Amino acid sequence: MSLYRVIKKDRCGCVEKVLLRGLCNAAKIMPMINDLFTNYKKIMANVDEFSRRILNAYPQDIVCNHGCSACCKQELHLLPVEFYYLQHYADCLQYADIRLSASSPDTACCILLHNSGCLLYEHRPIICRTHGLPLLITAEGQQWRDCCPKNFHENTLLKNLPEQDLLHLERLNTILISVNRLYAARSGIEPGTRIAVSRLASDAHTPRR
């Protein structure tokens, strides 16, 4: 699900049409988003560009698609810049009369998961954008490769990928942390505090940063 545009539908019709109406009603928040989150949006654009290149290069080796939501069965904790960016668009769900609820039969699922698709897919955090991609991980002086176990195990083996086709996770995280610090300094908040995505439901009517 992380690498493909999701067409989100339910029994009442197309959720995307409802979200579009909500976004139109919530247009007043866009200037703030464009101002405070410019650097963060650049990171997302770069990750998306990398994703498109990998999808084009290895179409038979990546099986992530709408309905494959295994990576959404967890509670994510985001840096402030990620959480508050997502929170602005969660507001649009409220404008569109879509109510988020932290209670679920499967409490491990992300509260944005709806019919195996993400309600805020276009605005999903960096970690969600990198799920399924071939990663190069560096820790404690060692490097290894990783990706979703469903990908790169039949046609092209992960170990055979050239390094330019691996997403350097530590480099990405370093840039993200720097952007978060800048955002926190401009917003007057603590940069190191991670926030659970489930708070999008409990904070539905609190003032926005």
- Residue 75 has a pLDDT of 85
Q: Is the pLDDT of residue 44 over 90?
A: yes
Which has more confidence, 174 or 102? 174
Task: Indicate the pLDDT class of residue 35, thresholds 50, 70 and 90.
Answer: confident
Domains of the chain, by residue range, sit at: 9-202
Q: Worst-scoring range by mean pLDDT, 1-5, 91-95, 119-123, 140-144?
A: 1-5
Which residue is associated with the tokens 């998961």? Answer: 113
Among the ranges given (109-113, 151-155, 183-187, 202-206), the one the predictor scored with the smallest mean pLDDT: 202-206
Q: Which of 54 and 64 is assigned the larger pLDDT?
A: 54
Q: Give the global pTM.
A: 0.77
Encode 1-62 in three state secondary structure.
CCCCCCCCEECCEEHHHHHHHHHHHCHHHHHHHHHHCHHHHHHHHHHHHHHHHHHHHCCCCC
Give the pLDDT mean for 11-38: 47
Query: Which pLDDT value is given to residue 140?
Result: 87
Strands 117-118 and 9-10, by their bridges, are unpaired
Helix, strand, or coil here: 117? strand
pLDDT surpassing 80 at residue 173: yes
The mean per-residue pLDDT over the stretch 59-68 comes to 85
Under the banding of pLDDT at 50, 70 and 90, the label for residue 65 is confident
